Chains A and B, each alone.
Chain A
Amino acid sequence: MQMRKASLLVLVFAVLLAAPVLAQDVPTIKLGAIITYTGPTSDVGAHYGDGIRDYFRWLQDEHGGIVDTNFGRVRVELVWTDDQYNPQTALTALRRFVSEDNIIGVITWGTGANLALMDELNRVQVPALSASFHRGLLDPPGQYNFFISTNYDNHMRVLIDYALSHHTGSQPPRIAFSVHPSPFGRSPLDAGRAYAEQLGLSVVASQELAADVLDATGQVLELRRAGAEYVFFQNVAQPVSVFLRDARRQGLRAQFLGIHYAGGEELLHLAGRNADGFITTSAIVTWDTDVPGMEFVKSLNARYHPNVAVRPPHYTQGVVTAMVLMEAVRRAVAPTGAAVKEALETIENFDVGGLAPPITFGPDRHWGADSLYLYRLDAADNRLVFLGEFSPNYE
């Protein structure tokens, strides 16, 4: 009896002594996420944010947030906020995360916010993985900005290549651009126009379509008058769905093509049969694609959002971005932003389970992939048809 009591006491003491030691052994590092959950572009931004947060919730629930890195075992914590697509809010949030939470890496959303953060990121030496594929973010090369796909310009070039290779109508083909009135929307315009001229296409119009637009009749009629055969969108799904509705109403018969954030399941959901035949680029595979990594993404969504059945690629994109950042944290030699940046630059042919083309970064190469996927929206089957993996012919 006495013996048992003593051993129990020893056990209790051992646990009491060990507990704080165990907890202290694992230092905490923090990563940030500045996402657009409300405001313009939040229709796709919220999916992206859910993907990032679900990944880190899974990491916490399954592994207690514990990760083995080159600088030892650490507990990873995600701090995040909603920037409302407002660059000032994003900048304030970054300053808060850097000074209050000492983050060593951050995942960001929009082009405007990222442009506003560029200087600050370089100054505080925290690498950012952005959802914006704006070419200007990587200029000059080798700074603290990264993104996982190729830039918007190349997305646009692939679309132009595709349109030209399937063209049967007039000569030269008449094309038009319709973009979001922001640095995000306008970013591929110059490159797109130059490439079109180089290929001998005729650019008949270049329009802007705001994110909160409710009627696009004016824009549609202009394109009908100009006889546009191809309309290239750089926008988010919501305004594009409005445009497609009015295009059908006004009888604008053209092939519609969009970059990454315009298309996907979201557009099919919003525009229904009006979106039939829409062609979109995507940095990420769709929900129905049969690749090894998709099972994990679906399990994440089922676990944390049991009432959401289908997600656009931007959810998967959030998960993939989080995976890439975590890979860099594992490879980093020290718990600092500069070390995570160097670690990102060592990532080569990183396999994300087929969810995206393998990701390769380098000291002067901060875009993750050279190729992208093309999909055609099929309203009858309510799914996206895979057209192939492309990279621009342009050099």
Chain B
Amino acid sequence: MQFSACGNYKTRYVDEATIFPNDTGRVFVAVLLVFLATLPFWLSPYFVFVCTLIGIFVVGAVGLNILTGSTGQISLGHSAFMGLGAYATGLLAQAGFPFWLAIPLAGAVTAAAGVLFGIPSLRVKGLYLALATLAAQVILQFGFNLFDSRGGGTAYLSVPQATLAGLVLDRERLFYYVVLFTAAVAVFAALNLFRTRVGRAFTAIRDNDRAAAAMGINVFAYKLLSFSISSFYAGVAGALWAYASGVVSAERFTLLLSVEYLAMIIVGGLGSVLGSILGATVITVLPEILRVAADSLSQVLPQATHLFLAMRFTVFGIIIVAFLIFEPQGLADRWRVIKTYFNTWPFRY
């Protein structure tokens, strides 16, 4: 086993693109996965549920980062795509599809919708594309509302618990493993995507789409492919969310969530898979911490309740701004700095 290289011994471009340059990373990831797998044994159901949510948003954020961070196509419709995946899952689950079939199918449905709403990206970019995807958000959200109103408002999609070979994957513990597995697969697929021709084409389009076209990259096809992959991830995240919460309602998939998704990849690091993971974790856990803090402060000082509740949003905003100022490259860059420090630790030059 090789844990660290004391120089640059790469002789081929393939070596540059390896996910794990040495065994440290392999061991670290293996230990991390084993550790994550033990969580349900010693955490209370509430914390397991929070971890489940983190896993779900990791999948979604990795998806958005492929589109926005790596292909340079900004999207304000990511939460609507997640919602579409959730609704598709609700319908499929009610039609009797098992979860292992419903989740990828929901992803496929969402990917198709993503291609449709990605078509304007041929003509518009930057802020204009942001507005075009905002339209996707509004249109899909309107559709969810219409769907909800079919039964005069009494209709909401309830999703049965996932079962595997007769075993009920309860929402408290076992379904966490489904999310963990899916998130791990999603992360490794994304990491590998950028080692392929497709991934390099995405990066070329992000850096300069005219130059990319001049090099013979079919810009439109690759943009649509990026939209469809990103939406597939969003759809899978929505599908997991539907199973995890047991009920699908339009109120979760608003513009606010799309903005939160953007916050995740900006806080984590644009164009970085690791950044998506860190960003999703921070943006999911932070409001929960602030909520618990505000709640306990209000128990101590009940007369200042309204102040503490309002402060949550202010503190959340300040933290995000602080990230942008002090960590403009995102958490992923901080991680890289830490890794570099330990590369030669404790025997520094």
> Which chain A residues have a beta carbon within 8 Å of chain B's beta carbons?
37-38, 46, 53, 57, 79-82, 85-89, 91-92, 95-96, 98-100, 112, 115-116, 118-120, 134-136, 139, 179, 181-187, 189-191, 208, 304
Contact = CB atoms under 8 A, between A and B. Distances in A.
B251 A85 contact: yes
B152 interface: yes
A185 B46 contact: no
A343 B293 CA distance: 34
A183 B148 contact: yes
The size bracket of the interface on B is 35 or more
A313 to B, nearest CB: 20
Given A57-B302, A81-B295, A190-B152, A95 B247 contact: no
Contacts of B294: 82
Given A82-B291, A95-B46, A119-B247, A184 B153 contact: yes
Nearest to B313: A38
B309 A37 contact: yes
A150 B294 CA distance: 34
A189 to B, nearest CB: 5
Interface of B: 44-46, 49-50, 53, 145, 148-149, 151-156, 158, 172, 241, 245-247, 249-252, 288, 291, 294-295, 302-303, 305-306, 309-310, 313
A99 B45 contact: yes
Contacts of A185: 153
A101 to B, nearest CB: 10
A134 B154 CA distance: 8
A116 B305 CA distance: 26
Given A95-B46, A112-B251, A186 B288 contact: no
Contacts of B250: 182
A119 B153 contact: no
B46 A96 contact: yes
B302 A88 contact: no
**Nearest 10 pairs of A and B residues by beta carbon:** A186-B153, A190-B152, A136-B154, A99-B45, A96-B46, A187-B153, A99-B46, A116-B247, A99-B44, A183-B153
A226 B249 CA distance: 32
Contacts of B302: 53, 57, 304
Given A88-B252, A92-B50, A38 B310 contact: yes
Contacts of B149: 186, 189
Contact of A119 (B246, B249, B303): B246
Contact of B156 (A179, A183, A189): A183
Q: Dominant SS at the A interface?
A: helix
26 contacts: A37-B309, A86-B252, A87-B251, A88-B53, A88-B241, A88-B252, A92-B49, A92-B50, A92-B288, A99-B46, A116-B247, A116-B249, A119-B158, A134-B153, A136-B156, A139-B154, A182-B148, A183-B148, A183-B154, A183-B156, A183-B249, A185-B153, A187-B153, A190-B152, A191-B152, A304-B303
A182 B254 CA distance: 13
B161 to A, nearest CB: 9
Q: Dominant SS at the B interface?
A: helix
A139 B156 CA distance: 13
B251 A182 contact: yes
A186 B49 contact: no
A86 to B, nearest CB: 6
Contacts of A191: 152
Contacts of A186: 148-149, 152-154
B313 to A, nearest CB: 8
B46 A190 contact: no
A6 to B, nearest CB: 41
B153 A81 contact: no
Contact of B153 (A86, A89, A189): A189
B200 to A, nearest CB: 37
Contacts of A37: 305-306, 309
Contacts of B53: 88, 92
B289 to A, nearest CB: 12
Contacts of B152: 186-187, 189-191
Nearest to B149: A186
B245 A88 contact: yes
Contacts of A53: 302, 305
A31 to B, nearest CB: 14
A96 to B, nearest CB: 4
Contact of B49 (A80, A81, A95, A112): A95
B75 to A, nearest CB: 21
Contacts of A38: 309-310, 313
B45 A95 contact: yes
A87 B153 contact: no
Nearest to B252: A88
B309 A86 contact: no
Contact of B251 (A81, A86, A190): A86
A176 to B, nearest CB: 16
A86 B254 CA distance: 10
A91 B245 contact: yes
Contacts of A136: 154, 156
Contacts of B172: 95, 99
A115 B313 CA distance: 26
A160 B294 CA distance: 43
Given A99-B44, A134-B153, 14 more contacts: A92-B46, A92-B288, A95-B45, A99-B172, A119-B246, A179-B153, A182-B153, A183-B154, A183-B249, A186-B153, A190-B152, A190-B153, A190-B154, A208-B145
